[in-house]
Structure 1
Amino acid sequence: MAVFTSLDELRSAVGTDLGASDWVTVSQNRIDTFADCTEDRQWIHIDPVRAADGPFGGPIAHGYLTLSLLSRFFDDLIRVENVTAAVNYGLDRVRFPSPVPGGARVRGHARVASVADIPGGVQVALDVSVECDRADKPVCVARSLARYLVE
């Protein structure tokens, strides 16, 4: 995990590879729970029998489920100390190049793309790629934006 003790350290980290997070299993139970929370109950996600005959040979995770795990990955990858708040500001350029099969494991890789001053702190862009132990290419690529505030 990269630990930054000040905004100045964070500003100087542009281009830094933060490495890879721990693996997270995307179980069918996790997929079903996500479907319940979002009310996205498409058969490709929640019906293993029907999905077995579908285009992916089994159920797949929602793309937004994969995306929601970025926060979990960041807990393994980056910590910024001596700030009063850290807030998710949004995402840019999100893509899902490959599906996540139910039961697969995923992990995130991140790199500090930019750090920009904003009133009261900085905005950090992290380029993230999510890999899957059952896919040849990334299952999600995105630019995540966070704001670290000191006032």
Structure 2
Amino acid sequence: MNDLNDVITPTESNSVWAERTGNRQYLGHNARGAEVRVGMGPGEFSPGDLLKLALATCNALSADHRLAKALGEDFDANVIAASIKHEEEERYSDLDVQIVADFASLSPEQRQTLGERVDRAIERGCTVGHTLEHGAGLRLHLLDDPDA
């Protein structure tokens, strides 16, 4: 499907949805029953927050098995995504992901090997990262729902 006029049919596996709950406030859903508050107020994720969180966790989930093998199944870690915003173009110009864990038990050689394996795992499995690196077609459709 390369025609930007085509509508992608939503299914459980390819879509999420959000219901308006107030002025610039939405409640996001997925088919697995998860919910997230989206907006600009307290207790809400902004769309930019969700983009960064998606990238950070995609990297971490893709690399988790490699990290667990090197650090042990019950390793503690945090993953952080930060951004630089290009204000004039209203977009992020750069995104940075950091996986923070206790690597002290690894020798410099082991840490280098782990870094290479983590990079390969992320390159193989992080759909969000691939999408950001290569871009995706974007389209908006306004659909009529007289019952809304």
TM over 0.5: no
Higher strand share: 1
Structure having greater relative contact order (Cα 8 Å, sep ≥ 6): 1
The structure that has the greater radius of gyration is 2
Higher helix share: 2
TM-score, normalised on structure 2? 0.29
